[in-house]
Structure 1
Amino acid sequence: MTDTSTETAVRFRSDMTVELVKHNAADSDVLWAARVSTAGEQSIDELAKDPERSKGLINFLMRDRHGSPFEHNSMTFLISAPIFVFREFMRHRVGWSYNEESGRYRELQPVFYVPDESRKLVQEGRPGKYVFVEGTPAQQELTGRVMQDSYRQAYEAYQEMLAAGVAREVARSVLPVGLYSSMYATCNARSLMHFIGLRTQHELAKVPSFPQREIEMVGEKMEAEWAKLMPLTHAAFNANGRIAP
């Protein structure tokens, strides 16, 4: 993580923040939802049973892509990330609800994204068949310096417009997509699996994905929280190629 303060109070970060703030999610939710098809109202008895005894059913549902039983749960995350991450994030619409910080109603804080040394900077190859490789020390220095200078200038322009009485919703136009924002994102396990399948890379994935690293960082943190809530479902997801049912 990089977090540098300057005399103008502009701050720079390289990390993403994900906090699970509310949830109603357990492996047993999958079981009672699935068994209503054969047990009717008696399926509610699954709530009192150990889900471990029925992990084979969870694996069957995942393997044969019976997806709806994985929707009867809920997780709400508070996420802090650059705006460009949220623009990719909100392409996921089915099974998601979002509420984001608004530049119309509050003065946006001067916190901006600058990649740290672990971020691969150079793209090699043609579209559809490219890889990212490490940047040179000179490229790392250039990236950090240019981004920080640009951010400072943009935020100074924003402050100048606000001081002159320009409305926040107009003044925000000068701010770049590297500005950090915050949002609540609510989903169920099925919609989260779709997100993780597309936005993370993993050795067990049957279908490869090539996400931007910054949104992958968010996906990894969300997956870690979900895995603690629904360990059998998460294990079945991995065992079946990380393809959402």
Structure 2
Amino acid sequence: MPLSPEQQAEIDAQRQSPSQTLRVVSPGMEKHLYTAHDVLDHGFVRVIDYMGDDAAICQAARVSYGKGTKSVTNDEGLIRYLMRHWHSTPFEMCEIKLHVKLPVFVARQWIRHRTANVNEYSARYSILDREFYIPAREHVAAQSTVNNQGRGELLGDAEAARVLEILKADAGRAYDNYEAMISQDGQQGLARELARMNLPANIYTQWYWKVDLHNLFHFLRLRADPHAQYEIRVYAEAIAAVVSDWVPFAYRAFEDYRMGGATLSATALDCVRRMVKGETVTQENSGMSKGEWREFEGVLRG
């Protein structure tokens, strides 16, 4: 189960004890506080705390008192201007703290985003739960033949069944040995900090992850992208749904200019101008490599 009974009881108690505050709150975010959103087979994402909203971004941009501007229209227009012109500092005034439960191999991808504050569950102090990520049948695929870091075609039924059985058996056997090494039933047992090295990368860990909105948008741009690995992408998508409720103006601008937009090199932009003038532009006369041209065509095709 994603949440333990103890965690669920703690969440229920927190939700039943609201506190009054004079600080800015986001109605869209308030509904997410302490609510766990399930991800994968045993994982979740839940909001622990947050600071700021759309108005706080505008307030910081203008270094003003109270609300950002006189009208909602002006606030949204300002946020779109900031996003369009890469003025990132005002977005750093908003922060979010998340509690995430995720497989270790996903955590190792995630931690490459070094612009956050992280505190992970300690396997030196505590014993990890017997919970492993086992991919669903529809996500068991072969190595891509065109992308060295991606998946290709789905495995056939027999091969997928064989692989899934290996994953389950190896995970269970590794955990059995982990328990045996730290057993306290009449034996001294191995230190937890050493016993954990026997565990597979698909075991679940947990952490608190606190990040400002500017760096969170960078995380989402990379990890919510269709080309990102599925297992981290579903976490990014769950977070994106929360962010869209928290700062709707900022998120819409992010979707438009970052997720849905494209950055063109000076060479590519020159090609577009030539095309608009009616010139036939090919890879051979574009000044681009084959790889650059292929990506350029992908942008134009959409």
* TM-score > 0.5 by shorter chain: yes
Secondary structure at 1:76 match in 2: strand
Structure 2 match to 1:198: 222
Structure 2 match to 1:110: 130
Return the offset for 1:123.
2.2
Aligned residues: 219
Amino acid at match of 2:58: L
What's the TM-score once normalised by structure 2's chain length? 0.68
Structure with the bigger percentage of strand: 1
Give the counterpart of 2:159 among 126, 131, 139: 139
Structure 2 match to 1:211: 228
Task: Tell me: CA distance 1:120–1:156, structure 2 relative to 1, closer, same or farther (3 Å).
Answer: closer
Q: 1:92-126 CA deviation, whole Å, 9 max, x = no partner?
A: 012x1101111100011110010012314122214
Q: 1:127-147 CA deviation, whole Å, 9 max, x = no partner?
A: 459653222212321222111
Task: Tell me: CA distance 1:52–1:23, structure 2 relative to 1, closer, same or farther (3 Å).
Answer: farther
Give the counterpart of 1:233 among 221, 226, 250: 250
Partners in 2 of 1:175 and 1:129 — Cα distance?
24
Instruction: State the superposition RMSD in angstroms.
Output: 2.1
Structure 2 match to 1:162: 182
Amino acid at match of 1:168: R
Partners in 2 of 1:48 and 1:241 — Cα distance?
25
Return the offset for 1:174.
0.5
Between 1 and 2, higher relative CO (CA 8 Å, sep ≥ 6) is seen in 1
**Structure 2 matches for 1:10-49, cutoff 5 A?**
14=41, 16-36=43-63, 43-46=64-67
**Fraction of identical pairs, as percent:** 29
Tell me, yes or no, if the aligned pair for 2:120 and 2:207 is still in contact at 8 Å. yes
Partners in 1 of 2:154 and 2:258 — Cα distance?
29
Amino acid at match of 2:207: M
Tell me, yes or no, if the aligned pair for 2:69 and 2:75 is still in contact at 8 Å. no
Task: Compare CA radii of gyration and give the structure with the larger one.
Answer: 2
Structure 2 unmatched runs, 5+: 3-39, 262-302
What's the TM-score once normalised by structure 1's chain length? 0.83
Partners in 1 of 2:223 and 2:239 — Cα distance?
11
Partners in 2 of 1:104 and 1:54 — Cα distance?
48
